[in-house]
Amino acid sequence: MKTIKSIQNLKNKKVLVRVDFNVPVGDDGIIDSKEDWRIRAALPMIEYLLEKGAKIILMTHLGRPEKYQVSSSKYQACSLRLVAKHLEELLDREVKFVNDCIGDEVEKAVSKIKAGEIIMLENLRFYKEEKNNDEGFARKLAGLADIYINNAFSVSHRKHASVCAITKFLPSYAGLLLEKEASVLSEAINNPKKPATVIIGGAKAKTKVPVIEYLLDKFDNILVGGVVANVILKVKGIDIGNSLLGDIDLDEVRNIDIENNKLHIPIDAIICSNENKVSLSTIGKIGNNKILDIGSKTAELYSKIISDSETIIWNGPMGLFEKEEFSLGTKVISEAVAKVGGCTIIGGGDTIAAVYKFSDLEKIDYICTGGGAMLEFLAGKRLPGLEILK
């Protein structure tokens, strides 16, 4: 991968950096200092460019504006204005926000930028062309700068204009954070301290379950929870009652070697009835209820495997951890992971939120900004945004 460190002279160069500043912005417009880790993770890259005297232009997406009417308040809430302000506070330096990401106003602002100054563009996903990897749109973005940097590992599994198409029009490099995340994960795949355990849970079963097939080749234990576990149980022919499956096509995942003894599935669960009665049940006796957390026996079993491991990679909570009644499984796993002396890596927005809530992020060796991208990378899939920098 071509990295930005290979460029000697960045003085006065206009550098367009794709970052991932997709952070939760509260209704009060405040970005919680515990939820801004995606922004903080990019600060070394920005500081590096400032030191080199570059002219910095930052671009990112925020939320899913494509789901809303342009005039709606939900669409407006996807503006990066407040994110730019938050970055300004973190850096203690001015960040100029422009109302668009392409067009006259942006070009004017960029033409006035001086060495050591920072401009933040408006949400890339205000243009549908971003997700369509549109070359015309990418060319307009590229026209703003001399050099392009991808510093957003978490979107590098997506073929989007600011990640892929743009590299056709500018000399393109991997940023410090992208390089770091790719190298930490490469090390975890190629040279993991054994035993190495991957924990997969959460709701996005459609993207996560297919990865298990590949992970079984590379790691010693795969522990499943959340909706991911529901799917595995279902494929095994075990009745899961009314539990969620995350609109996955079960035929797509039938080739997972579910009998592989590296694959650990829950033996008990916290279930909830239609009348909202919560109880502990053995797997296989779920009835008409919904599985919303792993049970205490499963949590104990998983904790033992975790504490015997030298490498842990975790993406996806074990249950509906936002609700107290269904949080114990995720809490126990968070605590077990934090105690591991070997290498611990976690990724995914909700997983990071859970570890923050129940344990201590400081005790985790590496926090990966991407969940989906992390799993695809671990499974050995080629991420388009990384391939294109080779």
Residues in contact with ligand ADP, shown as a per-residue x/- string from 235 to 274 under the rule CB under 6 A: ---------x------------------------------
348 is catalytic: no
Of 63, 210, 295, 317, the one binding ligand ADP (CB under 6 A) is 317
Of 350, 353, 385, 388, the one binding Mg ion (CB under 5 A) is 350
Check if the beta carbon of residue 166 is closer than 8 Å to that of residue 130.
no
**End-to-end Cα distance, the chain:** 5
Closest CA to 348 of 366, 368, 377, 327: 368
Q: How far is CA 73 from the centre of its chain?
A: 26
Partner that binds at residue 316, options ligand ADP, Mg ion, none, CB closer than 5 to 8 Å by kind = ligand ADP
The minimum distance between CB 221 and ligand ADP, in angstroms, equals: 19
CB nearer to Mg ion: give 156 or 309. 156
158 is catalytic: no
Backbone conformation region of residue 385, classed left if phi is above 0, alpha if psi is from -120 to 50, else beta:
alpha
Show the tokens assigned to 99.
């109302």
Look at residue 344 and give its three-state secondary structure: strand
Backbone conformation region of residue 246, classed left if phi is above 0, alpha if psi is from -120 to 50, else beta:
left
Count of C-beta atoms within a 10 Å radius of residue 256: 22
In whole angstroms, what is the distance from residue 213 CA to residue 257 CA? 7
The minimum distance between CB 92 and ligand ADP, in angstroms, equals: 31
In whole angstroms, what is the distance from residue 54 CA to residue 207 CA? 38
Q: Of residues 175, 316, 372, 385, which has the active-site annotation? A: 372
Q: Is the peptide bond before 266 cis (omega within 30 degrees of 0)?
A: no
In whole angstroms, what is the distance from residue 152 CA to residue 209 CA? 24
Partner that binds at residue 305, options Mg ion, ligand ADP, none, CB closer than 5 to 8 Å by kind = none
Residue 113's alpha-carbon distances to 12, 118, 215, 218, in angstroms, are: 9, 8, 47, 48
The minimum distance between CB 164 and ligand ADP, in angstroms, equals: 22
Show the tokens assigned to 181.
């995340």
Of 21, 75, 321, 358, the one binding ligand ADP (CB under 6 A) is 321
Of 63, 226, 266, 295, the one binding ligand ADP (CB under 6 A) is 226
CB nearer to Mg ion: give 175 or 349. 349
- Residue 175 in contact with ligand ADP, rule: CB under 6 A: no
**Binders in 194-213 for ligand ADP, by CB under 6 A:** 201-204
The piece of 47-55, 90-98, 127-135, 344-352 that touches ligand ADP (CB under 6 A) is 344-352
The piece of 103-111, 220-228, 293-301, 344-352 that touches Mg ion (CB under 5 A) is 344-352
Look at residue 343 and give its three-state secondary structure: strand
The piece of 84-92, 115-123, 164-172, 317-325 that touches ligand ADP (CB under 6 A) is 317-325
180 is catalytic: no
The minimum distance between CB 347 and Mg ion, in angstroms, equals: 10
Q: Of residues 63, 225, 349, 371, which has the active-site annotation? A: 349
Count of C-beta atoms within a 10 Å radius of residue 85: 14
74 is catalytic: no
Of 192, 210, 295, 316, the one binding ligand ADP (CB under 6 A) is 316
Residue 150's alpha-carbon distances to 36, 73, 322, 387, in angstroms, are: 19, 30, 33, 12
Residues at the site binding Mg ion, with contacts judged by CB under 5 A: 349-350
Residues with catalytic function: 38, 204, 349, 372
Residues at the site binding ligand ADP, with contacts judged by CB under 6 A: 201-204, 226-227, 244, 291-292, 315-317, 319-322, 348-351, 371
